[in-house]
A = this chain, B = another copy of it.
């Protein structure tokens, strides 16, 4: 009996299980509110999850940020503990039942992951099946690099390479051009086109309310909206919800 259980557990564990959300919060919604039914299923085997607050939106403390996330998870009876509360971030990751990386500034998040020497370990842990949730900056790092972030470079990271949990890049909080705007700054689409002038990695513009579900090697677009796909030297296209992105690379 124990053996069978272990084998089953093992086979569950080796399947990637990831939610990559454009945003934590929808307009007029509370923190993580729209995702809670999904998260209840996603983290159904977890009594507690590990929170990575490194991106620190608005520069709030790790404690304050963790408290905010803990409050949302309390409503689905999951405890949450900040990685900064552990003496060793490595063992915290290794022992985590589930992991959530919150949004904020991607440059700061990536710098902290490298500084604490856990970028590679986090990637391995999630690839080995520990369920993961990312929102915004925490989603950005799921791609091959953070080079399609919208964030300001407030700190200089040792590298732009990220977790590579999916074989393409993301642009969270994707924003369509405002056709009435008189502002001459680049649109999001122009910026991604600039990225493609020097990089061949596909970029998925994920609108607020959309997320990717990764189950093993299967990647599916979720939420009610379309997502915008940018391939090098091609006209961008719109993908319907439930699109299968498993072969995108």
Contact = CB atoms under 8 A, between A and B. Distances in A.
Interface of A: 23, 25-28, 56-59, 104-105, 107-108, 146-156, 159-160, 173, 175, 182-186, 190-199, 208
Contact of A152 (B25, B58, B182, B194): B194
A59 B198 contact: yes
Contacts of A184: 23, 25-27, 173, 208
A199 B149 CA distance: 20
A105 B108 CA distance: 21
Is chain A's binding surface mostly helix, strand, loop or mixed?
A: loop
B152 A191 contact: yes
Number of chain copies forming the complex = 2
Looking at A107, A153, A156, A197, the one whose CB has the most chain B CB atoms below 10 A away is A153
A148 B107 CA distance: 12
Contact of A199 (B154, B182, B185): B154
Contact of A194 (B105, B182, B186, B190): B105
A56 B193 CA distance: 12
B150 A198 contact: no
Given A175-B183, A185-B175, A56 B197 contact: yes
A177 to B, nearest CB: 13
